[in-house]
Amino acid sequence: MKLSFRWYGESDPVSLEYISQIPGMHSVVSAVYDVAPGGVWSEESIQAISDACKKAGLVFDIVESVPVHEDIKLGLPTRDGYIDAYKENIRRLGKAGVRCICYNFMPVFDWTRTQLDKKASDGSTSLVYYVDQLKKMDPLSGELSLPGWDSSYKKEDLQNLFNEYKKVDEEKLWENLEYFLKAIIPVAEECDVKMAIHPDDPPYPFFGLPRIITSEKNLDRFLKLVDSKYNGLTLCTGSLGCAKSNDVTAMVDKYSKMGRIHFMHVRNVKLMDDGSFEETAHLSSCGSLDIVAIMKALKKNNFDGWLRPDHGRMIWGETGKPGYGLYDRALGAAYINGIWETLQKEGK
């Protein structure tokens, strides 16, 4: 297992120096953030990240993420040009030593929460998704602000995008995903770069938009679209775990045994009866997921991919990007390290 930590570049208040001080930390998960989706990343920008990580005693060998342009998801005639740019990014990243790329195929909205700063009784704050809050939101109002979403869309652009997606149901989205994979996976194989799709977060549709990377049945279908070890998963426990119908531990066991999990996002969520959820501390007793059982499944199947502590609470007065503070994610890394070391010493 290669323990990793998300870093948002030089503007990130969490420095590489601090990340390097977390015991067992190996890789930095980062990206080029000043190029719009569909553009080609410069070799100089990629190398700058690699050099900064190396200076801190860390390795830049995994990217999250290379965004997929909406024209590819929509299957528009312009998609081939954007796919060519995507292929070039794979080549440049592979040349620079990146061995895994995380991406997603979620229409319009990336990971979505309805509140950034839900305060707990202990004073910590976390990201939450409340169904009642979502029902009151109008994506076309021009005032929508959702965590994880690129709010740079203008109202008229968003309206046009929603109109385009009226022509795209789940089956059409599957077709467009297959077209994309058949174009990029051969390049990934040539460059020795594993592609790892992130589940839809949360794993069900909202605002009338289709979502397909949501369940075991759909992950099985996804992996069969291009049956290559380079076509794999970012298995996010918190994303898939938002749906009570998903047995996350069983899924981790199944797909790690197949060798198709390239990247693990480990976090915990507390589920509610109406489909709402709150992000919690990583500790199994804090949420609805059994993190110890999940780590046991990985160890049993000799998981040797990347793993990062995912979203954390904001604790001890820390400010910055919600969900991406240093302190709680570092606690999560320590917790994961402790479980992993125990399993190694027990030979399990």
Residues annotated as catalytic are 198, 236, 265, 310-311, 324
Buried b (16+ CB within 10 A) or exposed e, 248-283: bbebbbbbbeeebbbbbbbbbbbbeeeebbbbbbbe
Strand ranges across the sheet with 115-119: 115-119, 125-129, 277-280, 268-271
Q: Which helix (H) or strand (E) holds 248?
A: helix 248-257
Amino acid in position 139: P
Q: Which helix (H) or strand (E) holds 136?
A: none
- Bridge partners of 128, per DSSP, are 115, 278
Strands (E), the chain: 2-6, 27-30, 59-64, 100-103, 115-119, 125-129, 194-197, 231-236, 261-266, 268-271, 277-280, 306-309
d(CA 63, CA 93): 8
Count other C-beta atoms under 10 Å from residue 229's C-beta: 13
